[in-house]
Amino acid sequence: MKKPVTIHDIAKMAGVSSATVSRVLSNSDYPISAAMREKIQRIAKESNYIPNLFGKQLKTKSSMTIGVIIPSISNPFYSSVILGVEGIARQNQYNVIVCNSLHDAALEEEYLKTIAEKQIKGLIISSIATDKGLLKTLIDTGMKVIAIDQKVDEDGICQIEFDYRKGGYMATRHLLSKGHRRIGYVTLQMDRPSRRSIYQGYLEAVEEAGLEPIMQESAEEDVYNSLYEFNIGKKLAGKLLEMPSPPTAIFACNDVMAFGVINELTSRGLQVPGDMSVIGFDGIEYGQMIHPPLTTIKQPDYEMGKMACKMLMDMLKGDADEPMFDVLLQPKLMERSSVAAMGGEPR
């Protein structure tokens, strides 16, 4: 395991100075004789030269890397976001480093530190922490930050959000328009802005229609595990069914929860949507694979990633004029087959 070859080694082999080698190998537009250039490139290739980015980055103070902090890639919603981010980053010769905070504020902070130490100047974050202290000082030292999905109320942070409230409103309106009057809402613990907003939308639509909200919130702190969410969906659906006057339609705060709801209903012998309508939220692909295909509210996840990265690139390049505006991505109703119109009188 011999030690790696450096530009100095190459310089020696080529009988030139390391400056010349550097100029050739970093593709600068510095004038170099064609012969020299070719010779150096040949030697570099033959000796399997691998540039050491530390040296370069220490000197140039630019890592060409952005960071992304999300709760967990195992959530298909976030993995879509990431793929969107990476596509744009790659186009701009940037690398992406992904950090899963796993819904752990301490871990999020640790990653934040690492990112800062790696001299990363751009960050896209879906923050779950409530203490934004560190984040704030990083911004003060020049880090560009884009908050996605979860709102961060700090100066100097661009927001790219979904209009969760409207999404919640739309879902509920859809159920209403199908004649449902008793609409249940099941949700994970409302410890995050996004979840509270969806519920807001639900509430608004229900109250607007002069109806009573029927809500079940999970008491359990959530872990990022789909199966876990699925089971909460089952459980909360059960609670709804055991009410004296159960709803005729159930709105779940995300698709996996909706899968749980449908599963519980089915296993109790109820037909979806015949006996009970179900609508989800997120629009993950698996929604099209289950039976019945899930009617849901689609959040443009991949697009969110692309847009966040585009804005970040802009901020990173034009170091003066930062595009200080927020983006509110619009939800879309995906009408599939898990919602039916109420026939006649409510049971």
Query: CB under 7 A: which stretch of 51-59, 197-205, 255-263, 280-288 binds DNA?
Result: 51-59
Residue indicated by tokens 């909360």: 236
Contact 232, 188 (CB under 8 A): yes
* Site for a copy of itself contains 330 (CB under 8 A): no
* Site for DNA contains 139 (CB under 7 A): no
Contact 202, 169 (CB under 8 A): yes
Query: CB under 7 A: which stretch of 48-56, 78-86, 99-107, 320-328 binds DNA?
Result: 48-56
- What are the CA-CA distances from residue 136 to residues 61, 90, 141 (Å)? 21, 27, 9
* Site for DNA contains 20 (CB under 7 A): yes
Pairing of strands 144-148, 122-125: parallel
Q: Which is nearer to a copy of itself, 95 or 200 (CB)?
A: 95
* Structure token pair of residue 76: 């298909």
User: Quick one: which of 1, 2, 31, 245 contacts DNA (CB under 7 A)?
Assistant: 31
Give the number of other Cβ atoms within 10 Å of residue 35's Cβ.
Answer: 8
Binding mask 218-257 for a copy of itself (x = CB under 8 A): -------xxx--x-------------------------x-
DSSP string across 189-203: ---SHHHHHHHHHHH
Residue 45 interacts, among a copy of itself, DNA, none and using kind-specific CB cut-offs from 5 to 8 Å, with none
User: Quick one: which of 36, 209, 290, 333 contacts a copy of itself (CB under 8 A)?
Assistant: 290
Number of residues that bind DNA (CB under 7 A): 32
Q: Which of 88, 55, 78 is nearest to 317 (CA)?
A: 88
Give the number of other Cβ atoms within 10 Å of residue 2's Cβ.
Answer: 4
Residue 130 interacts, among a copy of itself, DNA, none and using kind-specific CB cut-offs from 5 to 8 Å, with none
Residues 75, 145: Cα–Cα separation, whole Å: 22
Residue indicated by tokens 């009188």: 345
Environment class of 345 (CB within 10 Å of its CB; exposed 0-12, middle 13-18, buried 19+): exposed
User: Quick one: which of 22, 23, 44, 86 contacts a copy of itself (CB under 8 A)?
Assistant: 86
Residues near a copy of itself (CB under 8 A):
1-2, 4, 48, 50-55, 57-58, 63, 72-74, 76, 79-80, 82-83, 86, 95, 97-98, 100, 113-114, 116-119, 137, 141-142, 225-227, 230, 256, 259-260, 262-263, 266, 285-286, 288-291
